[in-house]
Structure 1
Amino acid sequence: MLQKKKILIRIGSLRHGGAEKVLVTFLKNLPQDKYQIDLLLNLYSGKYLSEVPKWINIIYLNKGEMITTNRIQDIPKKATRVIYQKLLKKRPSLLYKGKLKGKKYDIEFAAIHGMRDEILNSPLQSSKKIVWIHNDLSQLKEYTETEIKKFFGFDKIMVISEKIEKLFLDLAENETQKQKILKIYNPLDTEEILSKADKPFNNYEFDEKVPTFISVGTVFPQKGFDRLLKVHKKLLDKGFKHKILIVGDGYDFENIKKLKTELNIAHTTTMLGFSDNPYPYFKNADFYILSSRYEGFPTVLFEAITLKKKIIATEVSGVREMLNDGELGLIVENSEEGIYSGMKKALVNSQDFEKYTDNLKDYEMPFNLKNSVQKIISILDNV
């Protein structure tokens, strides 16, 4: 009988983000008989915890919800967590001897770019090291070329879009480094999306006479919900009737809610918070709008394409690739003006979007769950 490969996977938490969802989808489709997996979380929290297969061993540094405020009563707990995590990052041998009980791993896997140093500084010299890059790091100011080049310390660098692949290929100094870069589309479950979209929902009423633009994602600045609301207000002031529906939660939720009040658009904007099934809202909305400032490969567009939605998306990493160079949806400039022109076009000339609907009718994704999972399994088996 073949011995199971021992794998350590690290991620911050299993909150409601794209990378977290993709990781859990991948874990749900892994063969149990081949691997022994420890999933190490910095914080035992998040909506996807319940979806992790029972055979995967979850270990955590801290427990409880993420603390996103600076309220006086929260500061001691927040500080304790930060100090503990920094100590273990600085002295990884404490973590490996303590929480990880001296276990030897064949593979150590950073499921997000933020876990780079934790994995590369592992005291286990013999383990193979893999990282999964979900973001266009060139858009993050802390990631200079020097910082990005540190990722070449991994044995394999999994990237999720052509733009991120190009970024790494351009920075590679030799053929050996180039060989480390592997583009693998995110594993997402099309059948699950389609079946969940038919489920009932009860906390929002769509108005057939007023077009609704839906946007789904973690509420933080990257997603550009502030830009979306400002454009919404501008369009309303010009007499264009429409509604905005935002599904998602995150540390910027209260700020966006406050902006909604300041702009006096509470009657036309709904913020539903997190939903473990956003697909019925997708299905019933008229347009899907991606207002992001930057992305890696926006998972949410995969969902919108699966549900054949009329799409407007800012030109960020992965969008041209996903929308087939503009065949499957309207790609706009990555700015407030771009979002404004796209939404105005949808409201004034909605018939222009019929060509996208026609192109989506018989469109088959060039990537699917099975292929993506098989590619990652192949990496785990051959690294």
Structure 2
Amino acid sequence: MSNKKKILIRIGSLRHGGAEKVLVTFLKNLPKDKYEIDLLLNLYSGKYLGEVPSWINVFYLNKGEMITTNRLQDFPIKAFRVIYQRVLKTFPKLLYQFILKGKKYDIEFAAIHGFRDEILNSPQRSSKKLIWIHNDLKKTEFHKYTDDEFRKFFGFDKSIVISDKIHQDFEDLAQNEEEKQKIARIYNPLDTEEILRKSEVEGQKLEDEVPLFISVGTVFPQKGFDRLLRVHKRLLDEGFKHKVLILGDGYDFENIKKLQKDLGVSETSNLFGFIDNPYPDFKKADFYILSSRYEGFPTVLFEAITLKKKIIATDVSGVREMLEDGKLGLIVENSEEGIYEGMKRALQDPASFEQYENQLMEYKMPFNLVNSVNSIIKIIDDL
């Protein structure tokens, strides 16, 4: 009889998002003989599937690619997926009996905040409940949490949060010391050595006759790529020659592609979609720009810091913490005007960014991969 802790982890898919990447990085760095892990996906899909260690059991509710279009022929399969998932969410005993084969778990772990209710409503009442919160819940795109909704997260035995801002939000709502102790602030596991290694290979053929701004992320409205393209057009109209490169895919990709065409900036901006290794392009670009409307703790900034990029970032959750209040990069107002001012400064006065480059040369990451993984392992072991 195995005495390994049995853990169920839930996430939607393993598409190319920050939380998905962080989860896979964590799984790859776990000791393989210590736990018995089942990973349950709503959709067996995504670029990171191939990176899940072979000793982890992967279960899924649906299989196939994520459908991001509204084509008529896709409607039946989209409707089936939604109804099927809703039935299993409403009657979780069916899920545990038929998909998970009646297995009993010591820990049930929501890898993103969207699986809060699925884990809290698990029929396995004796399991310890754990959640990993990557977003600023007060500003999420689909669901702005009221205080009452927010407080439901205290139903977990432990919540891992990734920034001081999110930690403070929880502390403000905690009603006693016991609730405060349920919140753990841990940096996301990030493999900086892998980033540096991958940045050395050949990337896209990028011309370098004009300044290049790069932005990387899942193409959701949250990421503000629409704002970035409108600012790009405005600066071009004012005579500032430059190019913009956006790497990523997501349900808003076609809308951003259409906006690019409508603005007439297809020659000066590129949307390459998802790229397995964006780091060579990161390295070649002159500036990294974060145009997000909101974040939890944008791990992509630590990737830009690792590659010593000149950074412009909107003032969203996590940014002041990561850029040390503007010591390591330019923090701009969270608006289209803020992005415009930041990019204009980069084009008009590039020498002003040398101060950030000098600071980055001396900078040491406030965490390392091993510490982050070990901190989460300790939580799991203590539950």
TM exceeds 0.5? yes
Deviation of 1:45 after TM superposition, in Å, equals 0.0
Q: Which runs of 5+ in 1 are unaligned?
A: none
Alignment of 1:273-284 (within 5 A): 273-284=273-284
1:182 match:
184
Determine the C-alpha separation between the residues in 2 that align with 1:123 and 1:38: 17
Separation in 1 of the partners of 2:305 and 2:175?
37
Name the residue aligned to 1:163. Answer: 165
Q: Which residue of 1 aligns with 2:296?
A: 296
Residue 122 of structure 1 is matched in structure 2 by 122
The amino acid that maps onto 2:206 is E
Say if 2:129 and 2:158, in contact at 8 Å, map to a contact too: yes
Aligned residue runs from structure 1 range 235-250, under 5 A: 235-250=235-250
Aligned to 2:102: 102
Distance 2:94 2:254 in 1: 38
Compute the displacement of 1:109 (Å). 0.1
1:199 matched residue in structure 2: 201
Distance 2:258 2:126 in 1: 51
Q: 1-side partners of 2:3 and 2:196: how far apart?
A: 38
Given that 1:215 and 1:247 are in contact with CA atoms closer than 8 Å, whether structure 2 keeps it comes out as yes
Cα deviation, 1:227-249, whole Å, max 9, x if unaligned, reads: 00000000000100100000111
Task: Tell me the SS of whatever aligns to 1:124.
Answer: coil
Alpha-carbon distance in structure 2 between the residues aligned to 1:283 and 1:241: 20
In structure 1, how many angstroms separate the alpha carbons of the residues matched to 2:70 and 2:356? 45
Contiguous gaps of at least 5 residues in structure 2: none
Are 2:159 and 2:184, in contact at CA under 8 Å, matched by a contact in 1? Answer: yes
Give yes or no for the alignment of 1:316 onto 2:286.
no
2:149 paired residue number: 147
Contact 1:206 1:285 in 2 (8 A): no
Query: 2:86 matched to which residue of 1?
Result: 86
Name the structure 1 match of 2:72.
72
What CA distance in whole angstroms lies between the structure 1 residues aligned with 2:284 and 2:319?
A: 23
> Higher mean Cα deviation, 47-56 or 72-81?
72-81
State the partner residue of 2:287. 287
Q: Which residue of 1 aligns with 2:221?
A: 221
What is the alpha-carbon distance in structure 2 between the residues aligned to residue 313 and residue 87 of structure 1? 41
Compute the displacement of 1:125 (Å). 1.0
Q: CA–CA distance in 1 between the matches of 2:131 and 2:330?
A: 32
What letter is aligned with 2:379? Answer: I
Query: How far apart in 2 are the matches of 1:309 and 1:325?
Result: 17
Task: Determine the C-alpha separation between the residues in 1 that align with 2:239 and 2:69.
Answer: 38
Counterpart secondary structure, 1:76: helix
Is the CA contact (8 Å cut-off) linking 1:8 and 1:108 kept in structure 2? Answer: yes
The secondary structure found in structure 1 opposite 2:46 is coil
Say how many residue pairs are matched.
381
- The CA deviation at 1:2 is 7.4
SS of residue paired to 1:244: strand
How far apart are the structure 1 equivalents of 2:316 and 2:205? 30
Distance in 2 between the 1:260 and 1:14 partners? 28
Post-superposition shift, 1:204? 2.9
Distance 2:353 2:359 in 1: 10
Q: How do 1:231-380 and structure 2 match up within 5 A?
A: 231-380=231-380
Following TM superposition, by how much is the alpha carbon of 1:86 offset from its aligned partner in structure 2, in angstroms? 0.4
Q: Deviations over 1:89-141 (max 9, x none)?
A: 00100001111111110000000000000000001011000000000000024
Q: CA deviation at 1:142?
A: 3.3
Q: CA deviation at 1:175?
A: 1.0
**Matches of 1:206 and 1:71 in 2, distance apart?**
36
1:3-14 equivalence runs, <5 A: 3-14=3-14
Partners of 1:135 and 1:113 lie apart in 2 by 8
Residues of 2 paired with 1:341 and 1:168: CA distance? 33
| Alpha-carbon distance in 1 for matches of 2:33, 2:7 | 13
Please tell me the residue identity of whatever aligns with 2:13.
S
Q: List 4+ stretches of structure 1 deviating above 3 A.
A: none
CA contact 1:206–1:284 (8 Å) conserved in 2: no
SS of 2:8 mapped into structure 1: strand
- Farther-moved stretch of structure 1 (74-83 vs 306-315): 74-83
> Do 2:138 and 2:144's aligned partners in 1 also have CA atoms closer than 8 Å?
no
Aligned-CA RMSD value? 0.9
User: How far did 1:67 drift?
Assistant: 1.2
In structure 1, the residue matched to 2:133 is 133
| Cα shift at 1:146 | 1.1
Residue aligned with 1:168, SS: helix
**Aligned-residue identity in percent:** 73
